[in-house]
Structure 1
Amino acid sequence: MNNKQKGDLGEFIAQKYLLDKGAKIIESNYRIKTGEIDIISDLGGEIVFVEVKARSNNRYGYPSEAVNYKKIKKIINTANYYILKNNLYNKKIRFDVIEVYLNEDKINHIVNAF
């Protein structure tokens, strides 16, 4: 399985996990010129921007460690555009990271990751 396939599988698993928690998936793979957000969901009236990181193992570190300053900046800029475009000023928002461990059938949901 190549990295693209792992990423797609991780996002599918993360979406199912969010749906099971009662979230509504608004967008997936929301992409503009400046960046991409893996999942945008509504969870209890709160808009949640989710970055998904999937790994087969943690040999090279935890998946969330790949969400560095540069990546965070891109996600926030993309989210700001989404909020502006969709007039979501009065909505509560947060940024989460979901780690998916493919070989362990394990998910780690980091709420308010940044």
Structure 2
Amino acid sequence: MDNQSLGKFGEDAATKLVEEKGYTILERNYRALGTEIDIIAMDRGILVFIEVKTRTSRKYGNAYEAVNSFKMKNIINTSLSYIMKNNLESSQVRYDIIEVYVNENLVNHIENAFELN
């Protein structure tokens, strides 16, 4: 599986997980300001921006570790653009990471993985 197929597989698995949890998907692969947010969803009135990281295994570390401070800053800036564009300034916001490990058949949802400072 190439990286693009691996990424799509992970995003599909993550979308399925949050839908099963009752989230409403608003956007997938939202692009603005040169950054992409994998999933934007609503969870009981909370606007959730989700970064999905997919790996075949944990051989080289946990997937969430790939979301460094630079990536977080880009996601936050892009989320603020989405909020303004859609007049959602009054929404409560949360930033999650979903790790997908293909060989382990594991999807791990980390809620409140990082915050807007």
Please report the TM-score for the alignment, with normalisation by the length of structure 1. 0.97
1:91 corresponds to: 91
Answer whether contact 1:37 1:78 (CA < 8 A) is retained: yes
1:28 corresponds to: 28
1:5-59 deviation line (CA, Å, top 9, x unaligned): 1000000000000000000100000001331100000111111000000111011
1:71 corresponds to: 71
Please tell me whether residue 51 in structure 1 is matched to residue 71 in structure 2.
Answer: no
Answer whether contact 1:56 1:103 (CA < 8 A) is retained: yes
Please report the TM-score for the alignment, with normalisation by the length of structure 2. 0.95
Answer whether contact 1:100 1:106 (CA < 8 A) is retained: yes
CA–CA separation in structure 1 for the residues paired with 2:13 and 2:33: 26
Unaligned runs of 5+ in 2: none
1:38 corresponds to: 38
* Structure 1 residue runs of 4 or more that deviate by more than 6 Å after TM superposition: none
Unaligned runs of 5+ in 1: none
Secondary structure in structure 2 of the residue aligned to 1:100: strand
Please tell me whether residue 3 in structure 1 is matched to residue 30 in structure 2.
Answer: no
Secondary structure in structure 1 of the residue aligned to 2:36: strand
CA–CA separation in structure 2 for the residues paired with 1:42 and 1:19: 10
Query: What RMSD over aligned residues (CA atoms) do the two structures have, in Å?
Result: 0.7
CA–CA separation in structure 2 for the residues paired with 1:101 and 1:90: 35
- Percentage of pairs with the same residue: 51
Secondary structure in structure 2 of the residue aligned to 1:59: coil
Answer whether contact 1:34 1:77 (CA < 8 A) is retained: no
